[in-house]
Amino acid sequence: MPLIIMPALLPDWLNPDPWLTRARNTDTRAVQQALATECPGIAELAALLSPVAGEALERLAARAQLITHRQFGRTISLYVPLYLSDFCKNGCIYCGFAADRRRSRRRLERDDIIVEMDALKAMGFEEILLLTGERTLHADFDYVRASVALAAERFDLVAVEVFPMTHEEYHILAEVGCTGMTMYQETYDPVVYERMHRWGPKRDYQYRLETPARALAAGLRTAGLGTLLGLADPVRDALALFQHVQTLRKQYWRAGISVSFPRIRPQLGGFTPPFLVSDRFLVQVICAFRICMPDLPLILSTREPALFRDGIAGIGISKMSIASRTTVGGYHDGGAADDGQFKVNDNRSIEAFCTMLKSKELEPVFKNWDAVYRDIAQSA
């Protein structure tokens, strides 16, 4: 019997529509006030996402860069994703791993995982993000837990971007060495969300929305949020994402929250996004978030082209992936170039990427100093 999910009822704290109206009707004076506000909030974010603010993008970028350098120095933290399994039972219309895609499926076994992790460790990475599709018999909780334990033996930071879990499951992951999780809502528009997720557990909008809070309550130290830009109105999704981050930071003020800005990339299935998110508007979104949340780590992955990543590094963005593979087993045996969850856009080596950063007087950072401070505190 198919899973039937009733349309989501949005919580009181998640209502971006009044601010969407402000974004559409903002004038130059409101943008100037937003840039001058000492502690900007969602009202200022709405102004900075407006078309009028887009005409002043150079001012936004200069402000964002100044804040980024003040908060994070001239550094870019580096991490790497590792796809453990591409089995899935969801019907996400935009994903190359969707259950109806005709493709070979694979999961990494224990020895494969060790080989992949050792290869990434040899590249210098200290932070790893483990990914799977939806919970299946091939990749269930026990599989993820065992994979996290293997990663914790090798890396300072181990995060997961997998299926939503219960409070108890996240607590167990924390005990075996998991430090964080990433969970994109994909879109905060419940009507669009239902249309984009044709079947599977992921159709449950509310359960997914509440997942980062469950993870932080269970003891994970960090949660990564984001929307898949292009599925719905990007301004509305950006405003709702901001509201989500605000709510989590108030409730879990000791935790770390980060935000990513992925755009839809070509994938098996050939889905074309209904909303075009231009390079210029993506820069505007990143700068607006940096100005309104100065201390928030903002992340950009290899979904984006090299030229764009070069330009935005240090201007809002403080963390990036590099040398990424979206295939299962992509680091040791190479994998199939077009057989991943989506096509990587920046295929540069670590060496080439780090050379670029240094040419911009930015320092690539592999070391997780938080782990060092934690060890010192525990031994004191």
The predicted pLDDT at position 368 comes to: 60
The predicted pLDDT at position 367 comes to: 74
Does residue 247 form part of some domain?
Answer: yes
CA distance 297 to 243: 16
CA distance 63 to 43: 17
Mean pLDDT in residue range 19-43: 95
**Interval 117-129: pLDDT, tens:** 999 999 999 999 9
Among 77-81, 101-105, 278-282, 335-339, the minimum mean pLDDT is found in 335-339
CA distance 44 to 291: 9
Does residue 12 form part of some domain?
Answer: no
338 vs 349 pLDDT, higher one: 349
Mean pLDDT in residue range 233-239: 97
| Residue 92 DSSP label | B
**Interval 267-312: pLDDT, tens:** 677 788 999 999 999 999 999 999 999 999 999 999 999 999 999 9
**Interval 85-94: pLDDT, tens:** 999 999 999 9
Q: How many domains does the chain have?
A: 1
Contacts of 148 (CB under 8 A, 6+ apart): 130, 158, 160, 173, 176, 177, 178
> How many Cβ atoms sit within 10 Å of the Cβ of residue 82?
25
The predicted pLDDT at position 102 comes to: 84
CA distance 3 to 162: 20
Mean pLDDT in residue range 169-181: 98
**pLDDT of 5 over the 50 cut:** no
Does residue 109 form part of some domain?
Answer: yes
Q: What is the bridge-based pairing of β-strands 75-83 and 363-365?
A: parallel
The predicted pLDDT at position 11 comes to: 86
The predicted pLDDT at position 370 comes to: 53
Range(s) of the domain holding residue 197: 17-379
The predicted pLDDT at position 345 comes to: 86
Burial 57-72 (b: 16+ CB within 10 A, else e): eeebbebbbebbeeeb
**pLDDT of 20 over the 80 cut:** yes
Closest CA to 76 of 307, 358, 351: 358
Cα four-point dihedral sign 110, 111, 114, 120: negative
The predicted pLDDT at position 343 comes to: 76
CA distance 285 to 61: 10
272 contacts 258 by C-beta, under 8 angstroms? no
CATH classification of the domain holding 159: 3.20.20.70
Averaged pLDDT of the chain: 91
- Where is 159: in which H helix or E strand? strand 157-161
Tell me which residue has tokens 């992921």: 202
The predicted pLDDT at position 89 comes to: 94
Does residue 4 form part of some domain?
Answer: no
Among 6-10, 137-141, 236-240, 283-287, the minimum mean pLDDT is found in 6-10
Closest CA to 187 of 267, 274, 269: 274
Does residue 2 form part of some domain?
Answer: no
Does residue 361 form part of some domain?
Answer: yes
**pLDDT of 3 over the 50 cut:** no
**369-376 long-range contacts, CB within 8 A, separation 24+:** 370/156, 370/157, 371/126, 371/156, 371/157
Q: Looking at the DSSP assignment, which residues form a beta bridge with residue 92?
A: 197
The predicted pLDDT at position 341 comes to: 65
This prediction has a pTM of: 0.92
330 vs 36 pLDDT, higher one: 36
The predicted pLDDT at position 264 comes to: 86
Does residue 55 form part of some domain?
Answer: yes
Question: Could you tell me what percentage of the chain is helix, strand and coil, using 3-state DSSP and rounding each to the nearest 5?
Answer: 40, 15, 45
The predicted pLDDT at position 103 comes to: 83
